[in-house]
Amino acid sequence: MHIKKGLMKYSLMPIAAVSVAILSGISAAEPAPRPVSDEARIVIPVDAPARQYDPMIFGGFIEHLGRQIYGGFFEPGSPLADSEGFRLDVIEAIRELKVPVIRWPGGCFVDSYHWKMGVGEVRQPYDDDRWGVREPNTFGTHEFIELCRRLEAEPYICQNSLASIQEMADWVAYCNDTTGEFAELRGKNGHPEPFNVGIWSVGNEKVGKGYIDKVRDTAEAMKQVDPSIQVTCSGSHGPSAYIDPYLFETAGEHLDLLSIHEYWIPNFQSHQTPDYLSCMMLSEKPDAHLEAVVDSIEKAGMRERMTIAFDEWNLRSWHHPGFSGHHPRKVDHQDPEVMALIKARDKSLEPSLYTMADALFCASFFNACLRNADDVTMANIACLVNQTGPLYVHPEGIVRRTHFHAMAMYANLLKSHVVEAHIESDRLAHDGSSVSMVDAIATVDESGDNWAVALVNRHPSEAVLCTLEIGALPIDGTYKATILTGDSPDAYNDIEHPDRVAPRETALTFEQGTVSLPPHSLCIVEVSLPD
């Protein structure tokens, strides 16, 4: 698909004033943010090909840690839950994100998970060595599928690669077979129709020859049960983005996706609270990470065969000191030291952590995925609710964190195809590092006439004059837009102030193609070009 022809060049010029009319209760007569020396120019060459991206990049991940499942999506007995135990307010809120896929049950949790203990009327609770808690197994395969159906999301199951190959293949049969032993067992457990789970991972964050050999054998076994499924496995996790060539050589022909994970503030053991600018210095890391992974896949000759599932990502990892997930330990629930370590996980629930930095990093991450739309076909924020997730759930209700709104804007306001945008911007510097002050992504619908352009101003305190050029037609006049910003770069939402940071519908007036972007903001502007 190609869009309208032509490309008009504008020189970037300051303007005396730029009109910003806020439609949600703020007078259009209020003065616009003062023009400053910071400038940016976004050039969208409309004769370039428009690539359809996969909305699966807006996916989510939930794990049995903290209050993601129990006390998050699932809280039997709560006045806000239905008779099946699902929190209706949580489901209604997550629907706003149009989450297309959910990965479950882990994560590190999966290394001690055996699916048969979580199906049927009689569930088998057990002591989970990975996270040091008692797992009741009241939320298992059936409940996960029900959650996905309510959210209209594809279920994505991550297997316990420490279990036998037979156990993993049997889980596929239980979910997808229409006849046979496991189809009958599923029917006996209340669901005669197959679940049709189409995406499966062999394990979580594993490395080494033994694991890779098992990936090959398990992928073969699972596809013998259901040849239609897509299979992925651990490709890389952590900052190096290194992928063992043996993985491509041994298991590559059996894989459809390759899983990668990264959290750019590693809070696993040490709880860190970097300031806004320090977080912004991380906002170009996803681009570099994806470039390195794509390069590895290209060198292996697998780029036409497999795509990337960035199925755990977030600016911040959740905090779990003393339990790395890779060194299981038996837990004495009477030991005050152990209980203190488990309690420390609640630090991730602190509302003040999730500022405009999280929202703008989220936008930057999606921009990186969209720039790599040919290679990235899934991404799953870790996690969807509580801990570091976009939605905070408490016994009396919910709070939409700043990155919830960024996710909602991308999922709901972008058009279906992405077009390369050339960004010319001053640099924002801090503590020896720098990033582009403005980031942008351009999307367009199939007609080529209707555009949605996401503009990110990372500067903490100054507006930026931004010139937008889309082909040969000047972007002059007033256009509908949605802006997310706060009264401070450190603004956050909490129970007492749930809407301190919230998107506002706006009318942006461009003069000679130029508009003023508020500080620490995400703006998605909608532009319709005349024929």
Give the pLDDT band (50/70/90) at residue 6: very low
- For residue 200, give every residue at least 6 positions away whose Cβ sits within 8 Å of its Cβ, in sequence order, or none: 156, 157, 158, 159, 172, 222, 229, 230, 231, 232
Per-residue pLDDT of 225-247, as tens digits, reads: 999 999 999 999 999 899 999 99
Give mean pLDDT, residues 384-401: 98
Task: Report helix, strand or coil for 478.
Answer: strand
What pLDDT score does 326 carry?
A: 46
Give the pLDDT band (50/70/90) at residue 507: very high
DSSP state of 175: H
Q: Is the per-residue pLDDT at 334 higher than 90?
A: no
Angle in degrees, CA 123, 125, 129, rounded to 5:
145
Mean residue pLDDT of the chain comes to 91
Nearest Cα to Cα of residue 54 among 229, 307, 231, 223: 307
* DSSP state string for 426-459: PEEEETTEEEESEEEEEEE-TTSSEEEEEEEE--
What does residue 254 show for φ and ψ, rounded to 5 degrees? -100, 0
What pLDDT score does 130 carry?
A: 83
- Other Cβ atoms less than 10 A from the Cβ of 337: the count is 8
Per-residue pLDDT of 438-480, as tens digits, reads: 999 999 999 999 999 999 999 999 999 999 999 877 789 999 9
If phi over 0 gives left and psi between -120 and 50 gives alpha, with beta otherwise, what is residue 445? beta
Considering only 17-31, 310-324, 365-379, 491-505, which range has the smallest mean pLDDT?
Answer: 17-31
Q: Which two tokens stand for residue 155?
A: 């279920």
Give the pLDDT band (50/70/90) at residue 11: very low
Considering only 13-22, 154-163, 375-384, which range has the smallest mean pLDDT?
Answer: 13-22
Q: Is the per-residue pLDDT at 309 higher than 90?
A: yes
Q: Which two tokens stand for residue 410?
A: 């991308």
Give mean pLDDT, residues 506-517: 94
Q: Which two tokens stand for residue 521?
A: 């903001």
Nearest Cα to Cα of residue 46 among 321, 364, 443: 443
DSSP state of 317: P
Query: CA of 124: how far to CAs of 114, 119, 286, 383, in Å?
Result: 10, 9, 40, 25
What DSSP element (H or E) covers 193?
none
Pairing of strands 376-382, 59-61: parallel
What pLDDT score does 127 carry?
A: 87
Q: Is the per-residue pLDDT at 12 higher than 70?
A: no
Nearest Cα to Cα of residue 139 among 231, 67, 59, 230: 67
Query: CA of 425: how far to CAs of 240, 433, 439, 485, 496, in Å?
Result: 28, 16, 8, 20, 38
Q: Which two tokens stand for residue 384?
A: 């969807």
Q: Is the peptide bond before 194 cis (omega within 30 degrees of 0)?
A: no
Find how far residue 280's CA is from the centre of its chain.
17
Per-residue pLDDT of 141-151, as tens digits, reads: 999 999 999 99
Domains of the chain are: 20-52+417-528 (2.60.40.1180), 55-413 (3.20.20.80)
Contact at 8 Å (CB) between 368 and 51? no
Per-residue pLDDT of 15-35, as tens digits, reads: 223 333 323 333 333 334 444
What does residue 253 show for φ and ψ, rounded to 5 degrees? -70, -15
Considering only 217-226, 330-339, 475-484, which range has the smallest mean pLDDT?
Answer: 330-339
The overall longest dimension of the chain from CA atoms, in Å, is: 75
What does residue 193 show for φ and ψ, rounded to 5 degrees? -80, 145
DSSP state of 74: B
Per-residue pLDDT of 70-91, as tens digits, reads: 999 999 999 999 999 999 999 9
pLDDT over 70 percentage in the chain: 91
Give the pLDDT band (50/70/90) at residue 385: very high
Per-residue pLDDT of 258-306, as tens digits, reads: 999 999 999 999 999 999 999 999 999 999 999 999 999 999 999 999 9
